[in-house]
A and B are shown apart, each in its own frame.
Chain A
Amino acid sequence: MSNLQIFVILSGVVMTVLIAWYFWFAPKAQTRVAVSASGAQEVAITVKGGYTPDVIIVQKGRSVRLTFTRQESSACSEKVLFPDFNQNALLPEGEQVTLEFTPEKSGEFGFQCQMGMLRGKLIVEEG
């Protein structure tokens, strides 16, 4: 086995570890939502190839107001769904669309576009 072959095998191992770490094991940035003057937990989310921010921490039993702005025309992201809260909204390009609901259960709940290409997570904590 030549040195080059050994190098390629080792690179393969390193790449595998890197991919697994980066996509699965590395801690993700989380956004804790502040409570606004109106008493609602407000957060603005940009939709462009993904949701920014995509991991959102809120408190249970308090109204959550998510304002989405879609900045792309790709039809993939034209809808955002919160299947666990039976909430969904159409996001016309460039328009601010607000979804408001009160999470009455705690836990981690995914939100996503209709076909699941873009994903985010809503973490509801006990208040």
Chain B
Amino acid sequence: MKVHDPVCGMEIEPQSAFAKREHMGQTFYFCSQSCVDQFDKDPHRYVMTSATTGFNPKMTLARIELPVSGLPLKEHSTRLESALRALDGVSEVKVNATANRLEVQYDAQKVDVAKLVGAVKSIGFQVGGTSVKIGIENLRCASCVKFIEDELKSTQGVLAATVNIATQEATVDYLPQKTTLSQLNAAIETWGYKPRPATSDAPVDKQEEAHANEYRKLMNKFWFAAAISVFVMVTAYYQFVPFLRDLNMDSLRLLWGVTALLTLPVMFWSGSDFFTGAWAAFKHRSANMNTLIALGTGAAWLYSTFAILFPSVFPEGTSEPFYDVVAVVIALVVLGQALELRAKGQSSSAIKKLLGLQAKTARVIRDGKEMDLPVEEVLVGDVIQVRPGEKVPVDGVIVEGSSAVDESMLTGESMPASKKMGDEVIGATINKTGAFKFRTTKVGKDTALAQIVKMVQDAQNSKAPIARLADIVSGYFVPVVMILAVWTFVIWFVIGPQPQFVYALVTSVTVLIIACPCALGLATPMSLMVGIGKGAENGILIRSGEALQTARAIQIVVLDKTGTITKGKPELTDTVTSEQSSVDSDQLLRLAASVEKVSEHPLAQAIVEGAQARKLELAEVKDFEAIPGHGVSAKVEGKNILIGNLKLMNREKIVLGSLEEKSKSLADDGKTPMFIALDGRAAGIIAVADTVKEDSAEAILALQNMGIEVVMITGDNRRTAEAIARKVGVTRVLAEVLPEDKANEVKKLQIENRKSKIQNVVAMVGDGINDAPALAQADVGLAIGTGTDVAIEASDITLIKGSLKGVVTAIEVSRATMNNIYQNLVGAFFYNVLGIPVAMGLLFPFFGLLLSPMIAGAAMAFSSVTVVANANRLRGFKPKFSAK
């Protein structure tokens, strides 16, 4: 009977073991001194095992710690406990709700981890393991699959492992605190296989790879078609070719027979997508671009072949083929598709840029040791060390140290934000100056960056209402073009000049080929993709195409006062001393701050911070007393001090003199004045106020210059509200509005009749919490986020950076994108509306002008390229308030 050394995993004979230990009713055997030493340091670690098979078969009682997530653990812990206890073999369950951890003691012979995990999941919890895909090179033998699976499963911390021989990948669910990727790789290597990064892990890279393959394929098809085209062109214009023009008709026909055969692979290899696509669409009773190309080139080829096989059927001189049309059109359209694909790749660069921001590794501190781990293995609750110049790997809260962090990549804010203990840091931002440690709060797909990426991707694939029109049009487009082609043929055949049949066929083929439904279909999605990506680059997350389209037409912007126009936090603004005061203003502030330091009033904080900003040293306070509704009294440095409102001063019969006048003017400015009396005599006033953000006035002016009416809404009293409004240049103020009435006020603005009966397009900007109903009521709700809080639900647009300038930029992005969409739609529409009649030969009676099908093919191919190229022009969009 052999046993495993629990530390190194080596198989040893119990009797020849170097040492033996008893722990929690189990016996452990060791191969060497170092293994015993390691075990002795933390024996518990080796008892707790999550692996099910093989690790220590003799061990009957096992313990496992499982991180769980999903439901709130506090409320459902009893259900979870009873579900686990119901399993045969589970002896003890401990739920640690604060750490979201579950400790289970179980009999490894009766129950295994998979069953435990199953029980946890059955109640609706998730076991917070990580899942990783590892590629395995040259995995050929099916029997090795099981070996590798078993090896992985027996690795400590692995919950489940499956190996797929088809994809040559192992999918491993594991607890990252128990094992690391390198250990998993090692497990694969023990069977002689080489692990590699899984290919199916990065969807964006994969898409790029698919695009690259498709591009190569299309280019091959193009070059083939192009080479054949040259030869076919030579035979088609034999009159101009020295040697060919001397051939007689029979030899020429033979030559054309060769070209007929040569164009076949062009049609069925280079142009195979058109024919298979057309057939598939036909089966679905629908028609698209493929249908048109297939019909056009197919008709041309059939006619040409018929003409050289049975020349006598046709009048003299009309039996010449036009295989050149077939080859050249296919070559051009395929080239167009290739170019379009390339241009498309550029349009999605915003997402790539965002994903590229993600740090690859994190320096995690576990058990007092620093280790570099792939960012996927970082857990919530880990402490991570970040040095100057490094990227913050995931989201968290600083627990040690301070620094300045460059958040421009996410917020567009160019000034580094200073961060100290307790401040939040966001993954993908760059640490500038100091080193710090932070505790992770969000990892993986929960990080701000991952959420941003998800949101942007979803929005890029959403639909702008304007696209619905294009959709309806393109639903009827292709059959209409087919009908037009039929009647082009009929009219040319009936009233056209000689040779009628050739004219009729060429014009109808040209009609089929020049019509381009793709340009219409591409017009909106391409611009939307670039525009929404552009917004994201500037810290503006646009939820959907609809929001983007509506933002363009905004007529009224309603700004919430607190937290939107203002900082949302009171600050010390004025200190005024009375004439008879015995102290100067610094002294006054110092004494007041000393008292307020004890107080819990929100305004008190502002005074204390104000004093700290002036580097004043605070004094000891005695006999502190809060007088509800009035203020506070205390004793500082032997002086009796009173701080409070007018009521307090009147109650204490303090003569205020000119101070009363002063306080009124401060209140008119929207400030909150507090009187201070020292030893029964009025000493001065300290005023605090919620101050305006530095750039609010500038942003509001910019909005007004864009022709947008700016309205302020607030629950505050009218006097304060108007004082703030004056400062930022807002003339219309809705004050004393209860939070629940904000939505109503927005509605009133929407139906407020200005000139027309059409509703006004109203945007509401708020900080997202109490403004949620108003944000939802508004045509466009813009939430001002504070960086980490990106998942604000009620809003259509989220401004990551807390500045009103974002509102301006959001409207600018919207206007630029919508203009681009209009250009594309109008361009695509006019292309078809002008191109099709010309192709039908409308100009022929007047100018004798007819379009060659080959020109039509070129026009069609490049019209969709033009649309994509025009959308890409948006990438050069620069907002007025540039982030840099």
Residues of chain B with a CB closer than 8 A to A112's CB: 471
Q: Kindly state the interface size class of chain B when it binds its partner.
A: 35 or more
Give the segment of A15-23, A32-40, A61-69 that binds chain B.
A15-23
Q: Which residue of B lies closest to A14 (CB)?
A: B486
Residues of chain B with a CB closer than 8 A to A8's CB: 489-490, 493-494
Find out whether the CB atom of B280 lies under 8 angstroms from the CB atom of A50.
Answer: yes
Q: Which of B280-307 contact A (CB under 8 A)?
A: 280-281, 283-290
Residues of chain A with a CB closer than 8 A to B486's CB: 12, 15-16, 19
Cross-chain contact of B494 among A1, A24, A110, A117 (Cβ < 8 A): A1
Find out whether the CB atom of B344 lies under 8 angstroms from the CB atom of A75.
Answer: yes
Find out whether the CB atom of B210 lies under 8 angstroms from the CB atom of A48.
Answer: no
Q: Which of B243-293 contact A (CB under 8 A)?
A: 273, 276-281, 283-290
Contact with B along A101-115 (1 / 0, CB 8 A): 000000000101011
Cα–Cα, bound, A117→B290 (Å): 9
Find out whether the CB atom of B210 lies under 8 angstroms from the CB atom of A51.
Answer: no
For residue B481, give the distance in angstroms from its CB to the closest CB of chain A.
10
Cross-chain contact of B483 among A19, A72, A79 (Cβ < 8 A): A19
Cα–Cα, bound, A115→B457 (Å): 16
Find out whether the CB atom of A23 lies under 8 angstroms from the CB atom of B284.
Answer: no
CB within 8 Å: A-B pair count: 113
Cα–Cα, bound, A112→B518 (Å): 13
Residues of chain A with a CB closer than 8 A to B273's CB: 72, 74
Q: Does A44 contact B (CB under 8 A)?
A: no
Cα–Cα, bound, A5→B500 (Å): 11
Q: Does A3 contact B (CB under 8 A)?
A: no
Q: Does A52 contact B (CB under 8 A)?
A: yes
Q: Which of B194-250 contact A (CB under 8 A)?
A: 200, 203, 206-207, 210-211, 213-214, 217
Find out whether the CB atom of A93 lies under 8 angstroms from the CB atom of B210.
Answer: yes
Cα–Cα, bound, A81→B460 (Å): 11
Find out whether the CB atom of B483 lies under 8 angstroms from the CB atom of A9.
Answer: no
Cα–Cα, bound, A92→B483 (Å): 36
Find out whether the CB atom of B521 lies under 8 angstroms from the CB atom of A117.
Answer: yes
Cα–Cα, bound, A93→B289 (Å): 21
Find out whether the CB atom of A50 lies under 8 angstroms from the CB atom of B283.
Answer: yes
Cross-chain contact of A52 among B284, B475, B487, B493 (Cβ < 8 A): B284
For residue B664, give the distance in angstroms from its CB to the closest CB of chain A.
54
Q: Does B525 contact A (CB under 8 A)?
A: yes
Find out whether the CB atom of A78 lies under 8 angstroms from the CB atom of B207.
Answer: yes
Interface secondary structure of B, over-half rule: helix
Q: Does B333 contact A (CB under 8 A)?
A: no
Q: Does B622 contact A (CB under 8 A)?
A: no
For residue B484, give the distance in angstroms from its CB to the closest CB of chain A.
10
Q: Does B397 contact A (CB under 8 A)?
A: no
Cα–Cα, bound, A113→B155 (Å): 44
Find out whether the CB atom of B470 lies under 8 angstroms from the CB atom of A116.
Answer: yes
Residues of chain A with a CB closer than 8 A to B544's CB: 86
Given A5-B493, A52-B284, A88-B458, check contact A74 B277 (CB 8 Å): yes
Cα–Cα, bound, A116→B463 (Å): 11
Residues of chain A with a CB closer than 8 A to B471's CB: 110, 112, 116
Find out whether the CB atom of B475 lies under 8 angstroms from the CB atom of A90.
Answer: no
Cα–Cα, bound, A16→B206 (Å): 44
Q: Does A60 contact B (CB under 8 A)?
A: no
Find out whether the CB atom of A81 lies under 8 angstroms from the CB atom of B461.
Answer: yes
Cα–Cα, bound, A28→B285 (Å): 8
Given A73-B210, A86-B458, A92-B207, check contact A48 B470 (CB 8 Å): no
Q: Does A54 contact B (CB under 8 A)?
A: yes
Find out whether the CB atom of B461 lies under 8 angstroms from the CB atom of A20.
Answer: no
Cα–Cα, bound, A16→B508 (Å): 14
Q: Does B162 contact A (CB under 8 A)?
A: no
Cross-chain contact of A117 among B214, B289, B463 (Cβ < 8 A): B289
Contact with A along B465-490 (1 / 0, CB 8 A): 00000110011101100110011011
Given A19-B479, A114-B525, check contact A119 B217 (CB 8 Å): no
Cα–Cα, bound, A86→B459 (Å): 8
For residue B878, give the distance in angstroms from its CB to the closest CB of chain A.
27
Q: Other CB < 8 Å A-B pairs besides A73-B217, A75-B214, A117-B288, 13 of them?
A: A15-B486, A20-B479, A23-B478, A48-B276, A51-B284, A54-B286, A75-B341, A88-B458, A88-B462, A92-B206, A114-B525, A116-B471, A116-B521
Chain A positions within 8 Å of B, measured between CB atoms, are 1, 5, 8-9, 11-12, 15-16, 19-20, 22-24, 26, 28, 48-52, 54, 72-75, 78-79, 81, 83, 86, 88, 90, 92-93, 95, 110, 112, 114-119
**A-B contact list, 12 entries, CB within 8 Å:** A15-B486, A24-B476, A49-B290, A51-B284, A54-B286, A73-B210, A74-B273, A88-B457, A88-B461, A92-B207, A115-B521, A116-B521
- Give the 5 A-B residue pairs with the shortest CB-CB distance, closest first: A49-B280, A83-B463, A12-B490, A116-B521, A88-B461
